[in-house]
Amino acid sequence: MAPQTDHEEREIKLSDITLIKGIWPFIRPYFWMLCISVLLVFLVTFLELLIPILTQKAIDGFILPQSGAGTDLWGIEIESFKLFAVIFFTVVLVSLITDFAQTVFMEYTGQKIILYLRCSLFRHMSLLPVAYFDEFSSGRLVSRVAGDVENMNEMFSSILVFVFRDLVLMIGILAVMFSMNATMALHISAVVPFILIGILFFSKISRKVFRTLRQKIGEINHVFSETMAGIKIIQTTAGVDLFLRKFGKINTDHLMAGLFQIRIFAVFMPFIGFLSTLGTGIIIWTGGAEIVQEEITIGVLVAFLSYIKMFFRPVRDLSEKFNLLQNALASGERIVSVLNRKPFQDRLSESDHRIGKIERIEFDHICFSYKPEEEVLTNISFSVRRGQSIGIAGHTGSGKSSLINLITGFYRPDSGTITINGEEYENLSIKNIRDRTALVMQDPVLFSTSVRDNIRPPDSTMDDTELEQILEKANCGFLFERHQGIDTMVREGGRPFSSGEKQLLCIARAFAFNPDLIIFDEATSYMDTVSEQKVHQAMQRLMAGRISIIIAHRLNTVRDCDSILLLKKGTIKESGSHKTLMEKKGEYYHLLFQMQ
């Protein structure tokens, strides 16, 4: 059995610089908002720091006065205890308001950045080459846009600003402590290097765990999505056990990573707590001695004790946030790795050179492979011009569908050139070509929205009557007989339509786009002969004045084409019209003969 890890996603690891570079463009437009958030944080922090000072002033000035009652607040003498109480309470109130304003503003900024990031990420991904989607599964990719971006949310809405705030708070506390009593502050600073070392050390290990956690979540999403898509097969074969096992394994892996993460934090968090008690111990020790020597007042000692508590709260906070931060950074890596994929990376052309109507398509000695050393198309040359149709026949796996992947620009050939109206494909705008192309595939794809939105070209002004005419042409009469016409809502998996009906709707979509080039990739597989005949009539009408490429496993579908290519193992075995190929009595003739 192939090793399981083969189909799992690789762990993604990026340097922090790459990470920041990747995310920065999304922060930039909102950078000023973040700055305001930070300014507000300064204000809130300042107010927060003010309260222990006020407490100290209260104790030293009123409760245990050395000399007559009264204290000075930045030069202003306050003698009344009541007035002092009013000032104290005002500070408390203002602190409430600014704190609230700051939090709301910050959340807003964070969510804004996330929205921007999510939309850009999705747009970016939708522009990535099809090869990328072939490489990863849709379930895994979904967890990037949904889950990973959600994790980044924490990053912007709380971590970024809070980390800043906590750092400022810690520095502020240290500064205040130094100004109150340098020797004692110095003693306490001895703890700081331990904190830093602790943080650096744990950040290294925990990022690794979070990476694994995120990757496993991607896997979980993938198993869910696949199970739900293939549920009928799973239930009717022995697949239930297989999938339960598969899922069980991933889920257990996820659990193990989770438990490991807990152990890491179970060491880290109490460690920080211990440092806090250590700090308290140091204060009592050194502070007590200093009070005896009358170097400091009791009020200062109390303030110090409050500050040490305050100092460790952000540290504690910071380490809780750290949890989220590491999680967010692990997600960030996954997002940036997608963003760093160039939409047109090596497979597609970047040009925006436009052409008019597609008049002629030529393949000149095209070779193509999905994986190195596994050529699926070898030396393919043919040309087709407007008004002509070309049929591509051949056994299953002879390379018919790969040809389509090249014409639509999903993939690029390894060698040889494709030209459109005599211009090299590479030099043309892919979008422009696709605007003029319609594709009907063997697996009908419909989106969960109304039939109207499924078939109407974007930005078109086509009205309902026109759409109804198109549906009529595509034999979609069933829509009006058994459903609510063009307003019928398509649900997931193309319900409520049968496979044949879904394919008819896809054909209607192709009609609606009024393309120069129309490609049918085994489009009639799901259709019974009666509908197929009708589609054929409609196709003949549609094909007039256009280029059409028809891939079929049934020769009767390609019989009427102007020319037919018979593919075998990636090469053109025979080509010509039905008549000439029949006269040749080669493989085509024999294929046909076998049919009867």
Partner 1 sequence: MIVVDGLQLVIPEIIKRSVDMLESGSPDASVFAQQAFLIIILGALMMAIRYAWRVLLMGSARHLEKGLREELFHRIIHLDPTFYDGVKTGDIMARATSDINHIRMAFGLGIVAIIDAFLLGGATIAVMMWMNVKLTLLALVPMPFLIVSTKILGRKMHEYHNTAQESFSALTELVRESFFGIRVVKVFNFEPLVGEKVTRVATEYFGRNLKRAILTSFFKPLMTFFFNSSTFIIIFYGGYLVTRETVSAGELVAFVQYMGVLAWPMIALGWMTNLFQRGLASLKRVRKIIETEPSVRSLPDAVPPDPGAGDIEISNVVFAYNFGPPVLDQVSMRIGKGGFTGISGPPGSGKTSLIQLIPRLYDPRSGHISIAGRDIRQTDLNSLRGKIGFMPQESFIFSGSIRENIVMGQTVSEQTLSEIIHATVLADILEAMPDGLETVVGERGVTLSGGQKQRIALARTLVTPKDIILLDDPVSQMDTDTASSVMEGVKRLRGDATLVMISHRIAALPFCDTIFIMNKGRIENRGTHQSLMKTSPFYRNSYTAQMFEDRDGTAD
- Contacting partner 1 within 302-321 (CB under 8 A): 302, 305-306, 309, 313
Residue of the chain from 556, 583, 584, 585 that contacts partner 1 (CB under 8 A) = 556
Binding residues for partner 1 restricted to 517-536, rule: CB under 8 A: 522, 525-533
Candidates 38, 229, 367, 462: give the one binding partner 1 (CB under 8 A).
229
Asked whether position 221 contacts partner 1 by CB under 8 A, the answer is: yes
| Choices 34-42, 168-176, 197-205, 248-256; region in contact with partner 1 by CB under 8 A | 248-256
Q: Does 125 bind partner 1 (CB under 8 A)?
A: yes
Lay out the site mask for partner 1 across 143-162 (x = CB under 8 A, - = otherwise). Answer: x-xxx--x--x---x-----
Q: Which residue from 170, 185, 282, 474 is in contact with partner 1, where contact means CB under 8 A?
A: 282
- # of chain residues touching partner 1 (CB under 8 A): 184
Closest CB 448 distance from partner 1, rounded Å? 6
Nearer to partner 1, 171 or 445 (CB): 445
HEC per residue, 300-332 = HHHHHHHHHHHHHHHHHHHHHHHHHHHHHHHHH
CA distance 391 to 552: 8
Options 21-29, 196-204, 420-428, 486-494: segment touching partner 1 (CB under 8 A): 486-494
DSSP for 202-266? HHHHHHHHHHHHHHHHHHHHHHHHHHHHTHHHHHHSTHHHHHHHHHHHHHHHHHHHHHHHHHHHH
Secondary structure element (H or E) that encloses residue 511, with its range: helix 499-512
**Residue 16 or 224 having the CB closest to partner 1:** 224
Provide DSSP, 15-56: -HHHHHHHHHHHHGGGHHHHHHHHHHHHHHHHHHHHHHHHHH
Rule CB under 8 A: choose which of 200, 374, 461, 463 binds partner 1: 374
The CA distance from 58 to 56, in Å, is: 5
β 76-78/71-73 pair status: antiparallel
| Degrees, nearest 5: CA angle 282-287-293 | 145
Is residue 460 at the binding interface for partner 1, with CB under 8 A as the rule?
Answer: no
Examine residue 19 and tell whether it contacts partner 1 (CB under 8 A). no
Identify the residue among 190, 197, 240, 544 touching partner 1 (CB under 8 A): 240
DSSP state of 487: G
Residue 480 tokens read as 């009006």
Check binding of 95 to partner 1 (CB under 8 A). Answer: yes
Using the minimum distance from each CB to partner 1, give the nearer residue, 171 or 262. 262
Tell me whether residue 5 is exposed, middle or buried, using C-beta atoms within 10 angstroms of its C-beta: 0 to 12, 13 to 18, 19 or more: exposed
| Sole binder of partner 1 in the list 10, 66, 232, 422 (CB under 8 A) | 232
Residue 13 touching partner 1 (CB under 8 A): no
Position among 64, 83, 186, 196 found at the interface with partner 1 (CB under 8 A): 64
Compose the 382-401 pattern: x for residues touching partner 1 by CB under 8 A, - for all others: -----------xxxxx--xx
**Under rule CB under 8 A, residue 414 binds partner 1:** no
Q: Kindly tell me which of 15 and 181 has the beta carbon lying closer to partner 1.
A: 181
**Interface with partner 1 includes 172 (CB under 8 A)?**
no
Q: How many CB atoms lie within 10 A of CB 115?
A: 13
Please report the DSSP string for 142-170 in residue order.
Answer: HHIIIIIHHHHHHIIIIIHHHHHHHHHHH
C-alpha dihedral sign at 539, 540, 546, 552: positive
The closest of 425, 418, 409 to 343, measured between CA atoms, is: 409
> Smaller CB distance to partner 1: residue 20 or 554?
554
Which residues have a Cβ under 8 Å from the Cβ of 308 and sit 6 or more positions away? 188, 276, 279, 280, 283
Shortest CB 419 distance to partner 1, Å: 20
Only segment of 13-21, 288-296, 352-360, 466-474 that touches partner 1 (CB under 8 A): 288-296
Question: What whole-number distance in Å separates Cα of residue 425 and Cα of residue 407?
Answer: 9
Distance in Å, CB of 101 to partner 1, minimum? 9
